[in-house]
Amino acid sequence: MRAPTSAVTRGLTLAAGLTLVLAACSSGGSGDNGKGGSHSLASCSAPGKADTCNSGDRKPGGTFTYTIEKNIQQWNVLDSNGNVFETGEVMSAVLPQVFVPQPDLSMKLNTDLVTSAQQTSDSPQTIVYKINPKAKWDDGTPISADDFIYYWRTMNGKDCPPPPSSDTSQTKGCLPFSTSGWDRIKSVTGSDGGKTVTMVMKKPYTDWKSLFGGGYGLYPAHVAEKVAGVPAGSADKMTGAQLTKGWQYFNKTPPTKYATAGAYKMTEWKDNDHATFVPDPKWYGKTKPTLKRLLFKVISDATQEPTALRNNEVQGIYPQPQVDLVSQIKSIPHVTYTIGSGLVWEHFDLNLHNPVIGKYKALRQAMFTAISVKDVIAKTVGQFDSKVKQLGSHNLVPGQPGYQDVVTPTGQGSGDLAKAKKYLTDAKFTGIGTALKTPDGKAVGPFNCRYTTGNAIRQSECQILQSSLHNLGIKVTIKPIGAADLGKVLTGHQYDIIVFAWVDGPTPTSNAQGIWSTGQSSNFGGYSNKQVDKLLADSVGQTDTAKAMSMLNQADKIMTDDAYVLPLYQKPTFFAVQDRFVGMRDNATIVGPPYNVQDWGLAK
Amino acid sequence: MTETTEATGAMDGERPPEEREFTVVERTQAQLVLRRFLRHRAAMISLVIFVLIVLWAFIGPHLWHYSYQKYTPDNSQPPSAKHPFGTNSAGYDSYAQVMRGTQTSLKVAILIALGSTFVGAVWGAVAGFYRGVVDAVMMRISDLVLTLPLLAIALVISSRTGGSWYWIALVIAGLTWAYVSRVVRSTVLSLREKEFVEAARALGASDARIIFRHLLPNSLGPIFVNATILVATGILTETALSFLGFGVQPPDTSLGLLVSQAQTAVDTRPWLFYIPGAFIIAIALTINFIGDGLRDAFDPRQQRVRQ
Amino acid sequence: MLAYAVRRVLVSIPVLIASTFIVFLVVVNAGDPVANFATSRNPAPSKAAVAAFARHLHADQPVVQRYWNWIVGVLHGQWGPSVEPNLDIGHDLLTRFRVTVVLVVASMLVALVLAVVFGVYSAVRQYSASDYAITFAGFLFLAMPVFWFAVLLKQAGIWLNQQTGSTFLGTIGDRSPYLDVNTFGNQVSDRIGHLILPVITLALVSFASWTRYTRASMLEVLGSDYVRLARAKGIRRGKVLTHHALRTALIPLATVTALDVAQLLGGVVITETIFQWHGLGEMLVQSVSKVDVYRTMAWLLLSAAIVIVFNLIADLLYAVLDPRIRYD
């Protein structure tokens, strides 16, 4: 009887030893926690520091590897297929933009490209861009009005129409990601040897600063002209077919193959793996790049990013934060990080196609009032970011000009059960707190709460909603959405309550119109209010931004009263880099942290 | 494996059945197998641990004061008297969750083992018994099943059924029975030539009777051993599917789901990572030892070899 | 034997057709890539863009017709459109195949060599402490979830790197994006450094089961009459082991190895995800989760072909190595 006993004990000892060794390994990295340097990104969350934090003197040399989470096959960020965050990040390193979205969410004029961009007349709205005489594509061709004209003509939806219905290849036309703004332009003309661009609008456009930039850079028109076989500088005369040729070329071709105009030049693209950039010797800007090499490495599974950073395989990561990920990064020596407030915001949506939810405003108000957003935050993002607060607007985030909290004054998201019940008693609902019934005696619910599978945060959000609504007498079942099914669930209205996120773009007014106006394709829950429609439509076409924002907020108040969507909070962003580098900052807008690659470098 | 087992085991095994009729007490095949199994120390210890885990997973939740689907106000707490396995970020009690997860994983694994063993055994036995065209067609169908990628099928199931444990189990079983059918078929192919089958046939037994009364019972050894292996691989397969996001879906939970949710928590909240992982290992390990014991019990030849 | 091989391949064609048809149906019904496209971009793509996308994927055609067109296309070397813009599925398949082959072959070699060494040792020293240790370790490896182990292994690798102050062991990808000193030697060591952790992960399960297999068949051979005879004739123990026993014992291992290739291809999915190798495993996960029908089908065809070929090799090996078996 001896042998097996000892074998088992020996085996167990072996197993225990193995675990101990591995456990020792796993804690080893965090052993020298504390000497993590100055945590210079940490200052980014201080007020007014977002645009200037983590700066410092640089010394030449060094290789910085930044992480992107998706492979890139579509290189035209203006195309609706290519309008992906990662493509935008990569292309903004090489393509010039007129206004660049900054970490503090403002739009900053890129004086390397244009010396000025001003609205010179209100009626018709006219904007004049003065191109910096030094601005050149790296093959020596000056950046000129031709590039602006080309940009506009591909985007306005008319000069380069979408593919005909006989085309099954998506290649016989242009499919811009959005035509809003572009379709309001009457003309774009060049003068002063192509160095002055005058844009005249048919109808005013509030968000004109997002045109020719705002995360979407200018592609070189002369390259497109060459591909289409037309003389250089003739963008204003190109036919639809010729514009299509250029468009398709930019769709398929990585910028290693054509002239670009950034501080860095992409020299290599290895599909599924990485892009390599080196300083562009022809760079015309004030700030010279100092890195020897800049890489964008594809890591498609965010959970692998902290280990790659710890192992010095990448030097900067920009994953969606989660409590363990944040504490993992905290324990890595010589890494600095920041948690920012993003433009992405989480929300509960009610489906107004549901006959009961759609019919009773009081019910919707009661539901939203019963939910405590504070609890939601405490169970989710609050655990790694104590700054997160309830978001009070459907269109803007704090820090954006015009932000106004229209939600919390109504009591929605307060978790005030008494107030919620009062809405229901006033509207003559019965069975409050037990089994809720409508005034005409129909049962309320059970409703489903849907979220994308695998998202633990949203799962908790649905669960909190479940227990809040239970207090009103509404039964909620939680039903995850399959990995590839979100689109179908949204467009097919297969939900009662759904939790997902919207991202606020650089164009708040046209964004709002696309989401909340009657019949829009992104208005999944079927919201419709004529007053809101009118206010939103008007807000898009203003020459005075302040006025547009006040209209936007007015519409938002009405919408909040209708209790259609409950904003929860801004999703935190998370940016971590090794502290031997300076210049990197979190930028929650669509350009992402690479908005200022020319400032990146080794700390002196 | 012990020296005593060695001695008696050797004696039991070496005697051909005819000789045994002359000893004092006649032992049936089942008794022999059981005796040999009971003497397999590692298998017996494993069996006890396994049974304890099963009891804990199925009875425990009724005695424990937290539910796996009700959150508590304690978020991300390390293990304590109140929460022996700690809590996760949403404040769920991990002890309750691991119990529920173990229960679900066991249910998944056992359904896989039972389902695929039953279908596979009958399928393999019929194919092996009839041979010829029937065999060819049935085995090509098995081949077909073996080429289907589990991931693709599991994705559809998880999006269509909300990832209930029985659907996950049915999908895995629906693909693994083909392995079992191959094993059973090859056993039956050799059995069908044995004298006792000839005898049954000569006595006018129907095909069904031969298959179910003679061939299958005599293939029980490989079938049992395979079934235990299937329990272990079943748990691991569900874990792998959970890692890829196609396994059991919340609000229900499984060990695989718990451990894959805690992937990033190794350093930061180790209790979430190591505890469910340890349970997976404990279950799979004990099952493998039980399977090993069964193999030795059914087929003691390997054990006796000595140089 | 050639006739047998040809017949086997022919028989597998209807199996392949049925299998692709089933998977086609399954994936087509798994979700709606057009709706996903329409809702995943901000701002939402225009109706024209959504319609063009749907036409591009042939989502407007009946399923049977799509399947038929796919078969015809494949016979002409066209793999069909992908949900991913501009993705050439044939090219994707080929580049990813190259990545995965390296991983799988390296893992198989490592697992085989170690399995033979430990299996034989375990059999020769049956019931010794080391036999028990090897057996227990084998069972332990078979009981560990692959990704659970991989997470710990990665931590261990990084810890080792930190102790030596190097970045020799890679945790991401199959090679570094750049080398400071780009010599052949550095390239080789870079590739090896990136191989070590994923190979251990992938080889673990095969190693465990092949060790058990070697041990069992070795024990059987060692107990056979001819080995006893050889020993009785006074041939040295070592010589009997290598010349007589081992050769016979390896026959079943060879066939099992060939059959397990399919399993390894399945196991590569998790290893590739954790170590970010952009190979066939990642391709399957991506295409399945994005309802990328044609890309899934391409994966299926390749993996089914590999399975069929290796099953055939297993059977033929059996016949070649064991003269008692004949195919006609």
Nearest-Cα residue of chain B relative to residue A1: B2
Which two three-digit tokens encode residue A91?
A: 């292309």
Q: Please tell me whether the peptide bond between A124 and the residue prior to it is cis, using omega within 30 degrees of 0.
A: yes
CA dist list (Å): A580 to A28, A261, A309, C133: 22, 28, 13, 47
**Using CA atoms in the order B258, B261, B265, B266, what is the torsion angle rounded to 10 degrees?**
60
Q: Which residues on C lie below 8 Å from A317 (Cβ)? A: none
The yes/no answer to whether this complex scores an ipTM above 0.90 is no
Tell me if B143 and C15 make a contact (CB, 8 A cut-off): yes
The CA distance from B269 to B258, in Å, is: 13
Which two three-digit tokens encode residue C270?
A: 């998790």
Please report the pLDDT score of residue B60 as a whole number. 86
Which ranges of B162-251 would DSSP assign to H, the alpha helix? Answer: 165-191, 195-202, 207-209, 216-218, 220-243
Residue A7 above 60 pLDDT?
A: no
Tell me if A313 and C152 make a contact (CB, 8 A cut-off): no
The CA distance from A341 to A569, in Å, is: 9
Q: Are strands A63-68 and A293-298 parallel, antiparallel or unpaired?
A: parallel
Radius of gyration of chain A (CA): 27
Residue A23 above 60 pLDDT?
A: no
The CA distance from A190 to A235, in Å, is: 11
Share of chain A above pLDDT 70, in %: 93
Please report the pLDDT score of residue C14 as a whole number. 87
Is the sign of the CA dihedral A528, A529, A530, A534 positive or negative?
Answer: negative
Q: Which residues on B lie below 8 Å from C204 (Cβ)? A: none
pLDDT tens track of chain B, all 307 residues?
333 333 333 334 444 445 444 555 666 777 877 888 888 888 889 999 999 999 999 988 888 888 887 778 777 788 888 888 888 877 888 898 999 999 999 999 999 999 999 999 899 888 888 888 888 888 888 888 888 878 778 767 776 776 788 888 998 899 888 888 888 888 888 787 778 888 888 888 888 888 888 888 777 777 887 888 888 888 988 888 888 888 887 778 899 989 988 888 888 888 889 999 999 999 999 998 888 888 878 776 555 443 3
Query: Residues of chain C whose pLDDT is less than 70?
Result: 321-328
Which of A18, A252, A297 has the CB atom closest to C177's CB atom? A297
Which pTM value belongs to this model?
0.86
Question: Which C positions 212-271 lie with beta carbon below 8 A of chain B?
Answer: 216, 219-220, 222-223, 262, 266, 269-270
CA dist list (Å): A442 to A422, B91, C126: 19, 35, 75
The CA distance from C327 to C316, in Å, is: 8
Which two three-digit tokens encode residue B53?
A: 């885990």
Nearest-Cα residue of chain A relative to residue B39: A1
Residue A30 above 70 pLDDT?
A: no
DSSP structure class, residue A304:
G
Question: Which B positions 47-76 lie with beta carbon below 8 A of chain A?
Answer: 69, 71, 75-76
Tell me if A479 and B162 make a contact (CB, 8 A cut-off): yes
The CA distance from A546 to A536, in Å, is: 14
**Using CA atoms in the order C112, C114, C119, C121, what is the torsion angle rounded to 10 degrees?**
140
DSSP structure class, residue A529:
-
Phi, psi of B220, rounded to the nearest 5 degrees: -55, -35
Question: Which C positions 146-165 lie with beta carbon below 8 A of chain B?
Answer: 146-148, 151-152, 155
Q: Does A342 touch chain C (CB under 8 A)?
A: no
Are A223 and A246 in contact by the 8 Å Cβ rule? The answer is: yes
Tell me if A456 and B45 make a contact (CB, 8 A cut-off): no
CATH ID of A39-94+263-341+573-603, from 3.40.190.10, 3.60.21.10, 3.40.50.2020, 3.10.129.10: 3.40.190.10
**Using CA atoms in the order A490, A495, A501, A507, what is the torsion angle rounded to 10 degrees?**
50
Q: Does B245 touch chain A (CB under 8 A)?
A: yes
Q: Please tell me whether the peptide bond between C81 and the residue prior to it is cis, using omega within 30 degrees of 0.
A: no
> Within chain C, how many helices (H) and strands (E) appear?
13, 0
Instruction: Provide the pLDDT confidence category of residue A18 given band limits of 50, 70 and 90.
Output: very low
Residue A197 above 80 pLDDT?
A: yes
Nearest-Cα residue of chain B relative to residue C28: B156
Question: Which C positions 178-237 lie with beta carbon below 8 A of chain A?
Answer: 178
- Ranges of beta strands (E only) in B63-108 are none
Instruction: Please report all neighbours of B, defined by 3+ CB atom pairs within 8 A.
Output: A, C
The CA distance from C290 to C299, in Å, is: 14
Distance from CA of C84 to the nearest CA of A (A): 7
Q: How much is the mean pLDDT over chain A?
A: 87
Are B151 and C21 in contact by the 8 Å Cβ rule? The answer is: no
Tell me if B256 and C145 make a contact (CB, 8 A cut-off): yes
Residue C143: enclosing H or E segment and its boundaries? helix C129-143
Burial of B269 (0-12, 13-18, 19+ CB in 10 A): buried
**A-B contacts at Cβ under 8 angstroms:** 98
Tell me if B75 and A331 make a contact (CB, 8 A cut-off): no
Distance from CA of B162 to the nearest CA of A (A): 6
Mean pLDDT of A196-212: 92
Q: Which residues on A lie below 8 Å from B67 (Cβ)? A: none
Burial of B306 (0-12, 13-18, 19+ CB in 10 A): exposed
Residue A581: enclosing H or E segment and its boundaries? strand A581-582
Are A249 and A229 in contact by the 8 Å Cβ rule? The answer is: no
The CA distance from A347 to A458, in Å, is: 10
Q: CA neighbours within 13 Å on the CB side: how many for A588?
A: 28
- The domains of chain B, with CATH numbers, are 1-38 (no CATH), 40-298 (1.10.3720.10)
Nearest-Cα residue of chain A relative to residue B91: A379
The CA distance from A554 to A197, in Å, is: 35
Mean pLDDT of A111-133: 93
Instruction: Provide the pLDDT confidence category of residue A155 given band limits of 50, 70 and 90.
Output: very high
Q: Which residues on A lie below 8 Å from C132 (Cβ)? A: 3-4, 6-8, 10-11
What is the per-residue burial (b if ≥16 Cβ within 10 Å, else e) of B156-192? bbbbeebbebebbbbbbbbbbbbbbbbbbbebbeebb
Are A385 and A572 in contact by the 8 Å Cβ rule? The answer is: yes
Instruction: Provide the pLDDT confidence category of residue A576 given band limits of 50, 70 and 90.
Output: very high
Instruction: Provide the pLDDT confidence category of residue A278 given band limits of 50, 70 and 90.
Output: very high
Nearest-Cα residue of chain C relative to residue B1: C127
Domain coordinates of chain A in residue numbers? 39-94+263-341+573-603, 99-252, 344-570
* Segment among A297-301, A343-347, C32-36, C225-229 with least mean pLDDT: C225-229
Q: Does B155 touch chain A (CB under 8 A)?
A: yes
Burial of C76 (0-12, 13-18, 19+ CB in 10 A): exposed
Q: Which residues on A lie below 8 Å from C136 (Cβ)? A: 7-8, 10-11, 14-15
Please report the pLDDT score of residue A117 as a whole number. 93
Identify the CA nearest to B300 among candidates B29, B25, B18. B29
User: Is CATH 3.10.580.10 what the domain over A99-252 is classified as, yes or no?
Assistant: no
- Residue A457 DSSP SS3: helix
At C102, the amino acid letter reads: V
At C255, the amino acid letter reads: T
Tell me if B152 and C296 make a contact (CB, 8 A cut-off): yes
Distance from CA of B116 to the nearest CA of C (A): 18
- Residue A603 DSSP SS3: strand
* A365 contact partners, CB below 8 Å, separation of at least 6: A410, A412, A420, A423, A561, A563
What is the per-residue burial (b if ≥16 Cβ within 10 Å, else e) of C301-321? bbbbebbbbbbbbbbbbbeee
Residue of A453 and A316 predicted with greater confidence: A316
Which fold would CATH assign to domain A344-570? Dipeptide-binding Protein; domain 3 (3.10.105)
Phi, psi of A449, rounded to the nearest 5 degrees: -115, 125
CA dist list (Å): A243 to A165, A190, A234, A248, B108: 18, 19, 11, 9, 57
Residue A506 above 80 pLDDT?
A: no
Are A544 and A315 in contact by the 8 Å Cβ rule? The answer is: no
Share of chain A above pLDDT 90, in %: 50
DSSP structure class, residue A563:
T
Task: Please give the angle made by the CA atoms of A83, A89 and A95, to the nearest 5 degrees.
Answer: 90
Residue A422 above 60 pLDDT?
A: yes
The CA distance from B145 to B154, in Å, is: 14
Instruction: Provide the pLDDT confidence category of residue A1 given band limits of 50, 70 and 90.
Output: very low
* Segment among A257-266, A556-565, B8-17 with least mean pLDDT: B8-17
Which of C52, C170, C172 has the CB atom closest to A163's CB atom? C52
Are B135 and B214 in contact by the 8 Å Cβ rule? The answer is: no
Q: Does C34 touch chain A (CB under 8 A)?
A: yes
Q: Please tell me whether the peptide bond between A321 and the residue prior to it is cis, using omega within 30 degrees of 0.
A: no
Please report the pLDDT score of residue A27 as a whole number. 34
Point out which residues pair with A335 in neighbouring strands.
A578
